[in-house]
Amino acid sequence: MRLELDPNPTPQKTFLTYSVFLLLAFLLLGMLFLAYGVSPLKAYALLLSPLTDPLGLAEIARRTIPLLLIGAGLALAFRVGFFNIGAEGQLLLGAVGAAYAALFLPVGPWTLPLMFLLGGGLGAIWAGLAAWLRVRFGASEILTTLMQNYLAYYLVVYLVAGPWKGQLVFGFLYTDRFPQAAQLPRLGDTLVHWPTLLLGVAAALILHLLLFRTPLGFAWRVQGENPLAARYLGLPGGRLLLLTALFSGLLSGFAGVGEVAGIHLRLLEPAQISLGYGFTAILAAWLARGRPLLVLLTAPLLGLILAGGDALKLSLSMPFRVVDVVSGLLLLVLIGAEALSRHRILWRR
């Protein structure tokens, strides 16, 4: 028995493989819940409970916004062959840029656009630096973007504990509250900052059109699928990668602006700004299979898992990291399903 590459699996085979692996994931999660002394059926019901009331739906939408923005950019980056693992740091740099514009620049009707300009620009520069290191020196963007996350993390800690710490803050690490002109509008009494949600939907649509309906998109796809062919055709591989990184970092920076201007209304410690959105969005991009438009489906799915995880933690007093276990297990089984669906088993020698 041996495995052989199957480059063109049938839809039936792909569906069956994914179904089997997802069933395996639910069985493993059920064993985890049983080990914790919780009925799996009750736990699954709580995971889906945000779908049953308006407040839960609002929580799903709130979690979807950063996943949609970051996931669309990552779907493009992965498709082109730029493996950006630093979206978490790019989100934090976006929050820094937004906070600077809100707190230290003159306030007016231009404040919110300027926050997105500075926040998105810092995120793009942060990702572009990793792309430049890869193009110029051959440095692995997986390592550089991962290390950049730590640099961004401690930069935010330094700012909120030092020069940007609020004047009337005692014992807490955060800045003064943003002025009214620097706050994004929300839907009613929820935390859903709708301008950023619309921006995420528009970004997914625009990137999908760029990728599949323009000459630039054709060059991107050739670069991602066969870099040797791209070089043979004379395509500027370095510039294509750099442009991809800039787009990806820009959208991650926008996500950071949305979190501080739409929810927290100040710059805080990194763990309070982002609940690991930069890493969870990797799963959203993976599920989208390199198609930014499909992130419109995968981001809300992961938003449901995050919101349902909160319900598990509050109702059953489960550990804080139970959501990470669910997301990590889903990622593992999806990687396994993807690998197996693209191979076939030969029983002969």
- Residue-wise pLDDT for 202-229, tens only, equals 999 999 999 999 999 999 999 999 999 9
- The answer to whether residues 175 and 267 touch, using CB atoms and an 8 Å cutoff, is yes
Query: Binning pLDDT at 50, 70 and 90, where does residue 320 land?
Result: low
Q: Rounded to two decimals, what is the model's pTM?
A: 0.91
pLDDT in the model for residue 293: 96
Is the per-residue pLDDT at 295 higher than 90?
Answer: yes
Q: Which residue has the higher pLDDT, 317 or 41?
A: 41
Residue 174 pairs in a beta bridge with 268
Q: Which residue has the higher pLDDT, 322 or 82?
A: 82
Nearest to 261 by CA among 180, 182, 181, 177: 182
SS (H, E, C) the chain: CEEEECCCCCHHHHHHHHHHHHHHHHHHHHHHHHHCCCCHHHHHHHHHHHHHCHHHHHHHHHHHHHHHHHHHHHHHHHHHCCCCCCHHHHHHHHHHHHHHHHHHCCCCCCHHHHHHHHHHHHHHHHHHHHHHHHHHHCCCHHHHHHHHHHHHHHHHHHHHHCCCCCCCCCCCCECCCCCHHHCCCCCCCCCCCHHHHHHHHHHHHHHHHHHHHCHHHHHHHHHHHCHHHHHHCCCCHHHHHHHHHHHHHHHHHHHHHHHHHHHHCCCECHHHHCCCHHHHHHHHHHHCCCCHHHHHHHHHHHHHHHHHHHHHHHHHCCCCCHHHHHHHHHHHHHHHHHHHHCEEEECCC
Is the per-residue pLDDT at 21 higher than 80?
Answer: yes
Ranges 66-70, 198-202, 206-210, 337-341: which has the least confidence: 337-341
Is the per-residue pLDDT at 260 higher than 80?
Answer: yes
* Percent with pLDDT over 90 in the chain: 65
The pLDDT tens digits for 137-154 are: 999 999 999 999 999 999
